[in-house]
Structure 1
Amino acid sequence: MSFETLANELLLDIFEYLSAVDLARAFHQLNNRFNNLLFIHYKTYHLDFRSISKCDFDIFCQRYLPRITDRIISITLSDDKETPDAINSFLSYGITFYHLISLQSIKIFHLHSTILLNRLMTECHQLPYLTHLNFIDCCFKNEHQSISTQLNNLWMLPKLISCHMDIDFHGQIYIIHPLMISTSIQSLSIESYCYGWKQLNHLLHQTPSLRHLHILLRDDSEDEQSLLFTSTSLVTLKISAYESPITLTNLLKSAPNLPCHTNRFKTVS
């Protein structure tokens, strides 16, 4: 039995195990049947442009990307040493994120451009199905307040369920302090920001459906006040502590029976 004799349904199942780039490279223009499978019958694409050659990246974006923009479910881009300037290159082909009308998940690694971040954050508000947004190992040297404002506005995204913010401001500390209430966010990870007891309670108040939280904690003078722990929905809590015995004590006293919890305390120096 040859590969081409397999039923379409079986071929589509096999396609699920291959990357979109490999699918296009292996089967596009092989014959009309495979072209139809790729661009008509194959319903969803998950694009991961990490560890891809510049040549393959350019070919895919030029030849195939415009034909599948309405079926891209997730996209991962990285500006690391292996794929430098990949995010800007992706956008240079005339494709904006809000053209990806079915997009549900975005992962961004090693972004350092404030301009690109602001553009991405603006376009996120045009994505009606976006549920997962992750910034990993990103670092910015300037316009910290502008970026912080954009991150606060993520609470306005109506479908957002999970958000991971691993963003460094070169030693500057900016706290995510959302003004809007999000009833959709259930999983939240904020690194490089240190929360006091009062700020933590505000964050929980603005995120009432939150079930999984990872944050950094610190003490300040206001933390010595007797404030109540406001969340009743949390099931997983991961904490990195920065010289915060008072905040940790208050937290543990206020939530001694946190169900299914995993508390990992680390002193950050």
Structure 2
Amino acid sequence: MNLEIFPNDLLLYLFNFITPLDLFRSFYNLNSHFNDFILIYFQNYRFDFRLLSRQELKIICQNYIPLIFDKVIYLHLSDDDGTPGQAADFFNYDINIDQFTSLKALTLFRIESHSKIDEFFSFGIQKLHHLTYLKFDDCHFNKGDGNKTRQLINQIWSLPKLIYCYWNVRPNGEEYFYLPTIFSLSLKNLHIKNPEWNSEQLTCLMMKTPYLQYFSTEFSCFTSNFNNDNVNKTLPSLKNLPMKKLKLINLWSRNILINLLYMMPNLYYLNIHGWTFYINGYEWKDIIIKYLPNLRIFRLTMLLE
């Protein structure tokens, strides 16, 4: 079969089903026609490095990625057991994240601290102006990196097009999230794993993310702050957030729940995984009538000791 006789639109469609490594290995430098397609016409390169060997990563980073920096829209880097040290290797090939000028989605899985990675966290991420999707999944920062983590969170909140953010980072060996000090006017979908929430912190987060429509968080441990929260401490300006979906996992505090629902009359989806506190069916009915007039889907799991 002679692929050169295929219409250009069909070739572009077929290239979407071929990994970038196989695409370059199979077609690059065969002739000028295929080179034009790979380097000029094909605009959406997605690199998922989870299944690559270290040698394959080297080939891609040294030979191919420099040719298409401005056409890469997705990157997935992983430091799991199958690809240890991959992120550090990636950045050691004289690659700067700001060279990916069209990057829209970035996933970092089990990334460990490293000088090049720290440089990216400190200065690189704020240059990803087209990023819409960002996921930190089970990443680990060194102890004492709290200031870097705060700086990183503020950079994330400053990204002008970011819509989705998943945060599961351990800056001090445990899950933790530092509240942003600036506003995000783009974030709509936010997932955070953080054991230390109280009502004041959650209210502050909502203030800094006023266009949020879906929020999920996991409370990983009990803190004494939970029992000291008062109901309805929220500011009047936060009584009508655009939130549509809310998921709370391992929730310890009834008052935190009430304070959140007080801010979210537009909710149509509520998923609660509760722990140690009890709310009976009549109380749930009163809560829904009082705070959630638009609720359509309600999922509840209560674990009682």
Q: CA deviation at 1:44?
A: 2.1
- Letter in structure 1 aligned against 2:193: E
In structure 1, the partner of 2:81 is 81
209-218 or 240-249: bigger deviation: 240-249
- Seq. identity, %: 31
Q: CA deviation at 1:243?
A: 2.5
Q: CA deviation at 1:175?
A: 3.5
121-130 or 173-182: bigger deviation: 173-182
In structure 2, the partner of 1:251 is 260
CA offset digits 1:59-96 (Å, max 9, x no partner): 11111111001111111111112222111111111110
Whole-Å separation in 2 of the counterparts to 1:118 and 1:135: 14
Q: 2:246 aligns with which of 230, 237, 257?
A: 237
In structure 2, the partner of 1:136 is 137
Contact 1:135 1:165 survives alignment (8 Å): yes
Contact 1:141 1:169 survives alignment (8 Å): yes
In structure 2, the partner of 1:9 is 9
CA separation of 1:186 and 1:38: change in aligned 2, threshold 3 A: same
**3-state SS of 2:234 partner:** coil
Q: CA deviation at 1:116?
A: 4.3
Q: CA deviation at 1:135?
A: 0.5
CA offset digits 1:7-32 (Å, max 9, x no partner): 22211100112221221122122332
TM-score, scaled to structure 2? 0.79
Q: CA deviation at 1:248?
A: 2.3
Whole-Å separation in 2 of the counterparts to 1:93 and 1:141: 23
Q: CA deviation at 1:55?
A: 1.9
- Corresponding position: 1:157 with 2:165: no
Q: CA deviation at 1:141?
A: 3.9
* Number of equivalent positions: 268
Contact 2:231 2:256 survives alignment (8 Å): no
In structure 1, the partner of 2:185 is 183
TM-score, scaled to structure 1? 0.89
Whole-Å separation in 1 of the counterparts to 2:117 and 2:35: 35
**3-state SS of 1:265 partner:** strand
- Letter in structure 2 aligned against 1:259: L
Whole-Å separation in 2 of the counterparts to 1:171 and 1:106: 23
- Letter in structure 2 aligned against 1:198: E
Whole-Å separation in 2 of the counterparts to 1:155 and 1:203: 11
In structure 2, the partner of 1:195 is 197
- Letter in structure 1 aligned against 2:153: N
> Which blocks of at least 5 consecutive residues in structure 2 are unaligned?
277-302
1:73-152 → structure 2 map (5 Å cutoff): 73-113=73-113, 115-121=115-121, 122-152=123-153
In structure 2, the partner of 1:262 is 270
In structure 2, the partner of 1:35 is 35
Find the structure with the greater CA-based Rg.
2
**3-state SS of 2:162 partner:** coil
